[in-house]
Chains A and B, each alone.
Chain A
Amino acid sequence: MSAIVLRGREPWLRGLSLLGFLVVWQLAAMAVNKPLLPAPTVVLSSLWNDLTEGSLLYHLGITLARVAVSFLIAMALGTALGIVMGRYRDVDAALDSLLVLALNIPALVTIILCYIWFGLTETAAVTAVALNKIPTVIVTVREGARAVDRQLMEVAGVYRVSMRRTFFQVYLPQLYPYLMAAARSGLALIWKIVLVVELLGRSNGVGFQLGTFFQFFDITGILAYTLAFAAVVLVVEATLMRPLERRLTRWRP
């Protein structure tokens, strides 16, 4: 019963915390009263202008596309490698120190090297983002692959379940919690890195726009883009990640 009540309240609580944030921001802006911290009303009207007359949608779209492509590449390669490393001790031993190295290389280094080696191209940009994310996906998925229940795999073996069905219905579901965790933290990381990549080597996208605003000291513009960006993240979380997670874990009591 209490769970049902809470579920009804949840959207309100989420909305309320956002509203509280806006109020604090407005009060702070009124207190400071300088162009360094524009009030949310100013930022919102600038956001509206960028949306209707400016090129915000175009840049946001470009950035979203880069996020989506590099996210999918990173998840696919990271999952495959994570499974192999979790399953085969020898492969794990061989690749583990490389993995630790990859985990600790600063994102900026990967980005700069990719641009130098592959030129200031779209491929270089997406590769740089994916390379930054793959190691963390590997680490998470490897943990899941190590925890796979051998008893359930034996069931599939005895009953002669085909390889394909064994993978999708017996093996992969055991990795879902790990994949969800990797996807969540992955999106958060990729949003951030994509902007840096755009700032350094692309001539469009949110990161590029923020760079331009920075040069003109256009704080209102920066905040307007940030706001638009935050809204997209929240929408993705609410319409993709949470429903997906609910669907994948609906069997839990």
Chain B
Amino acid sequence: MKNRLEVNIRRKIFPGADVVVVEEFMLTASAGEFVAIVGPSGAGKSTLLNIVAGLDREMDGDVQIDGQPLHVDGLITVRIGFVFQEPRLMPWLTVMDNLMLVLDKSTDSVERIRQLLREVGLADVEQSFPNQLSGGMQRRVSLARAFAMRPELLLMDEPFLSLDAPTAARLRQLLLTLWGELHPTVLFVTHHLREALALADRVLFLSSSPARVVLEVPVQLPRPRELRDTGIGELHDHLLAQYPELLSGLVEEEKQSASDISDSDNRLASR
């Protein structure tokens, strides 16, 4: 298996501000694993993704994939798809050209893009400019772009923020379908607990700044899952009952309690 991701950040300080944003952060994701990262706002979740993507290099630590450094001389050694909080499409390029930008110019690429656009339901706006599309459609283009170059690693930074519930639900389904085809290793940042539980194989909870993992919860509920599934609801309520301050990044017991919760989670899942 390939694309096992190891992130080890000893210390990340925002230059100029002398604020430690991330400290003693360790994360391992096995190949093809879907890991959700949940934490309070301002915890440094986006910084974390930027570090993994190589957009932020000023830190003490390393990022490895299959035991090899992910960034060599400023170049990324694997194919990374990044879905940002905003769609970040080039407004002067058509939908087709926005996707072509991340692929080589070949007829295969055109075919690949057409197929992807059909999958995300945008086949008929191929020649439109982003400004002519709705917010939800722009996000679908951005999702298609992340999958276009067959990513080995997929980073997502609250990609479904500020979408209405049905659109977000459709996009989550779409994400899982695309993920099922290529199985990239995924880091999915969100502050929406139910969303994390509905999508991920494993959920990491971060403390508030400096960010560090305070709890790790495997989710073994069968897919497909919906936000409103009773299993998700029970796990959600159970977690919040046991750790009332979890979403603020506070866990009373120390980290070994993660095994307790995963046991109880197994019980929940098998019931």
Contacts and interface: CB of A to CB of B under 8 A. Distances in A.
- Are these two chains actual partners, yes or no? yes
A152 interface: yes
B20 interface: no
Interface stretch (A54-62, A76-84, A157-165): A157-165
Contacts of B130: 251
A252 B54 CA distance: 32
A251 B88 CA distance: 15
Interface string B55-89: 10000000000000000000110011110101010
Contacts of A203: none
A151 B101 contact: no
Interface string B226-248: 00000000000000000000000
Contacts of A156: 101
A157 to B, nearest CB: 6
Interface string A160-189: 110001000110010010000000000000
Contact of B131 (A159, A173, A248, A252): A252
Give the secondary structure class of A's interface: helix
Interface residues of B, number: 25
B128 to A, nearest CB: 10
B151 to A, nearest CB: 9
B90 A173 contact: yes
Contact of A159 (B75, B86, B132, B149): B149
A151 B55 CA distance: 10
A154 interface: yes
A238 interface: no
Interface of A: 151-152, 154-161, 165, 169-170, 173, 176, 248, 250-253
A152 B82 contact: no
A48 B104 CA distance: 56
Contacts of B101: 156, 159, 161, 165, 169-170
B155 to A, nearest CB: 8
B88 A155 contact: yes
A159 B84 CA distance: 12
Contact of A251 (B76, B131, B149): B131
B82 A151 contact: no
Contacts of B55: 154, 157-158
Nearest to B131: A253
A169 B80 CA distance: 20
A53 to B, nearest CB: 49
A102 B75 CA distance: 40
B208 to A, nearest CB: 25
7 contacts: A151-B86, A151-B88, A156-B101, A157-B55, A161-B102, A169-B90, A169-B93
